[in-house]
Amino acid sequence: MSPAGFKLGKVFGQEGTKVGLGQESALRRLPRPREPGSLWNHEEINKKRKNARKTLEQEDKRMYKVSAKMQIYQWVVLVLHLLT
């Protein structure tokens, strides 16, 4: 997948939905049924929400690992630079 900040229009059903600080608000933008006889299928919407949340959590974990590796790399470069 792409790094954080990519567009999840297909997952959320809206083009241009950005992932970032407002992740939870993006999840809330999914269409909600307004009345019992509504055309929206509750189970399907809940499944999309769950999948979107799971995808976001996986992206967060992946980005955390990448940033941790970059910090280690920066420290190694700094130490090597100071030693030479």
d(CA 65, CA 83): 27
If phi > 0 it is left, if psi is from -120 to 50 it is alpha, else beta; for residue 13 that is left
Angle at 54 between CA 51 and CA 57, to 5 degrees: 150
At CA 52, angle to CA 49 and CA 56, rounded to 5?
135
Confidence (pLDDT) at 84: 85
Average pLDDT, 10 consecutive residues per value, the chain (84 residues): 49 49 57 58 83 92 90 94 91
Q: What is the pTM of this model?
A: 0.38
pLDDT value, residue 53 = 92
18 φ, ψ to 5°?
-95, 145
